[in-house]
Homo-oligomer: A and B are copies of this chain.
Amino acid sequence: MAITKSTITIHMVSSLDGFIASKDGSISWMNSNDHYENGITLTEEDVRAFVDRIDCYVIGSHTYEHALELGWPYGDKPVIVLTSRNLESDRSQVEFYSGGLQELVRDKLESYQKIWVAGGSKIAGDFIRLQLADEIIISIMPVILGEGIPFFDQIGQEQLLHLENVTAYQDGMVELSYEVKRRQVTG
Q: Which residues from chain B contact A159 at a C-beta distance below 8 Å?
A: 143-144, 146
CB–CB A142/B163 < 8 A: yes
CB–CB A17/B155 < 8 A: yes
CB–CB B34/A161 < 8 A: yes
Name which of A52-60, A62-70, A166-174 contacts chain B. Answer: A166-174
Q: Which residues of A162-187 are within 8 A (CB) of B?
A: 162-164, 166, 168, 172, 174, 176, 178
CB–CB B144/A18 < 8 A: no
Q: What copy number does this chain have within its complex? A: 2
Q: Within the assembled complex, what's the spacing in Å between the Cα atoms of A107 and B110?
A: 63
- How many residues of A sit at the interface, in one of the four size bands? 35 or more
CB–CB B162/A154 < 8 A: no
The verdict on A152 contacting B144 (CB below 8 Å), with A138-B16, A163-B172, A178-B16 known, is yes
Q: Within the assembled complex, what's the spacing in Å between the Cα atoms of A63 and B178?
A: 29
CB–CB A29/B158 < 8 A: yes
CB–CB B178/A136 < 8 A: no
Q: Which 9 A-B pairs have the closest CB atoms?
A: A163-B172, A144-B159, A146-B155, A142-B161, A17-B152, A18-B18, A36-B163, A166-B168, A146-B157
